[in-house]
Structure 1
Amino acid sequence: MNGATAYLVAAAGLLIAAAGVLVAVVALRTARKRAARPAGTPVRDPFRSVDDDADALRGDPRTLKPGDLVEIRHTSYGVRGTLRFREGAWGWAEHLLDDAHGSKVWLSVEEDPDLELVLWTALPDIDVTPGPAELEVAGRRYRRDESGRATFTSAGSTGLDPTGTVRYHDYVAADGSPLSFEAYGDSERWEVGTGERLHRAEVLIYPQATGADDPTTGRIG
């Protein structure tokens, strides 16, 4: 073996030894990190931080309550009332909003599992009974999505009792636009609404002080 060959062999040996030390250090650091995490600590959803950042900047829609202010597509609304629904282990909320001109809309907030925000407009003159697999409303065709029965609690001015039940049928158009039918208590009258899905960036929340909930209920004229 000449001098050059011996030098290359020695250099290769040093590189292999250095790589072995690096692997050992990485393994040790990983083991320490695992040991530092308490047993049973849930692994954080890597995508959840995106929602957390949006909530920190724009307010958390999940915590909306009567008395809060909401800006949707540059229009400001006050939260008049809130309905919180429960069907088994599943829950969602609907908030009655009105603007400075008295126009009323509903904002639904649901995690399925991603956060879904839908702005609903009532269709009081529509006389359609839900149930068929497909139906047409205001010139648009919808297909049946889901239906069920839930309980609710009411806060603020919603026009409903503090607690009760609701039957619902949800439909969806080819472009994803939702249509909803709701009948509260023993009523045979279906309340119909069409929805617009909102991007998270279109909703800005100004929460008011805790305790701003209006405990009264009553029909909104």
Structure 2
Amino acid sequence: MTTMTVIVLGLVTVVVLLCAVLGAVAASRRSRARQPVRTPPAAPGESPARDLASDPDYFDPRTIKVGDTVYVEAARYRAVGAVHCAVQGEQWTDYLLDEGARRYDNWLTVAERPGPGGEPSHLEVLLWTDVPTQGMVPAKHMLIVDGVEFSPIERGTAAFRSEGRTGLPERGLLDFADYRAGDGRLLSFQRVQGGQWEAAYARPLTPGSVRAERLP
């Protein structure tokens, strides 16, 4: 075997090993990218989903239907529409609430969040109020809204199905970008694909602070 042949074989071996290493690194990055965002455990104001469903003393907000009269703390609303969303195995419902003055700027989110490490799932209930962002686009880094710094926590695209009065198509895709401030305040941007971004603040509620009356 000549010296030139040995050199060529050595170079081929180095290239093969380098390709194998790069392939392993790329596969590792892809697998990490597929891992879902870890959901935090239930906060003191949140209730385990299974306990709430079996407790007759509490109304289960997951059972709200379009047309129901909904009481949120001391306020009375009517659920005029609902948007059912799903992304990566998680599901939630946004209810459009009418306070009687035909001002449709209050949304109630009811979501069942999986617990980490096999812990029981918990209910998350949020009341949203619109934020005038004047054409602001959600960036992938920190945002300042009303003088408050918000850091990004999650963004993606959800499939949705609407019912009742929502102003949205019957089915479609919804882009969202969620942020959290240092004091725990939540800010979310969303848009129907092809539409304009809209923003809202979220206020967490205890599931027990929501109840509903069915239509006769």
TM > 0.5: yes
Encode CA deviations 1:98-144: one digit per residue, 9 max, x unaligned: 11233430000111131000000012354321123211111211110
**Unpaired runs of 5+ in structure 1?**
1-46, 210-221
For 1:148-159, list aligned pairs within 5 A: 148-159=156-167
SS class of match (1:158)? coil
Q: For residue 158 of structure 1, what is the amino acid of its counterpart?
A: T
Corresponding residue pairs, total: 161
Q: CA deviation at 1:57?
A: 2.8
The answer as to 2:112 corresponding to 1:111 is yes
Aligned ranges 1:23-38 → 2 under 5 Å: none
Is the counterpart of residue 57 in structure 1 residue 57 in structure 2? Answer: yes
Counterpart CA distance in 2 for 1:108 and 1:100 is 19
**Structure 2, gaps ≥5 residues long:** 1-47, 115-121
Change in Cα spacing, 1:49 to 1:65, as seen in structure 2 (3 Å) is closer
What one-letter code is carried by the residue in structure 1 that aligns with 2:123? L
Q: Secondary structure at the match of 1:93?
A: strand
TM-score, structure 1 length as denominator? 0.68
Structure 1 CA distance, aligned partners of 2:185 and 2:79?
24
Of 134, 139, 147, which aligns to 1:131? 139
Instruction: After TM superposition, give the deviation of residue 84 of structure 1 in Å.
Output: 0.2
- Alignment partner, residue 68 of structure 1: 68
Deviation of residue 48 (structure 1)? 5.3
Q: Kindly tell me: are residues 49 and 91 of structure 1, through their superposed partners in 2, closer, same or farther at Cα, counting changes over 3 Å?
A: closer
Partner AA of 1:68 in structure 2: D
User: What SS does structure 2 have at the residue aligned with 1:57?
Assistant: coil
Q: TM-score, normalised by structure 2?
A: 0.69
Structure 1 residues 78, 136: CA separation in 2 closer, same or farther (over 3 Å shift)? same
Q: Distance in 1 between matches of 2:49 and 2:112?
A: 12
Provide closer, same or farther for how the CA distance between residues 110 and 49 of structure 1 changes in structure 2, counting only shifts above 3 A. Answer: closer
* Shift of residue 170, structure 1, vs aligned partner: 0.4
Q: What is the rounded CA distance, in whole Å, between the counterparts of 1:59 and 1:207 in structure 2? A: 12
Q: Which of the numbers 183, 192, 210 marks the counterpart of 1:203?
A: 210
Q: Point out the more displaced range, 79-88 or 126-135.
A: 126-135
Q: CA deviation at 1:200?
A: 1.9
Mapped to 1, the partners of 2:192 and 2:157 lie a distance apart of 10
Contact kept? 1:82, 1:154, Cα under 8 Å: yes
Please say if residues 177 and 197 of structure 1, whose CA atoms lie closer than 8 Å, have aligned partners that are also in contact.
no
Distance 1:87 1:72, change over 3 A: same
Task: Note the aligned Cα RMSD (angstroms).
Answer: 1.8
The answer to whether structure 1 residue 166 and structure 2 residue 167 are counterparts is: no
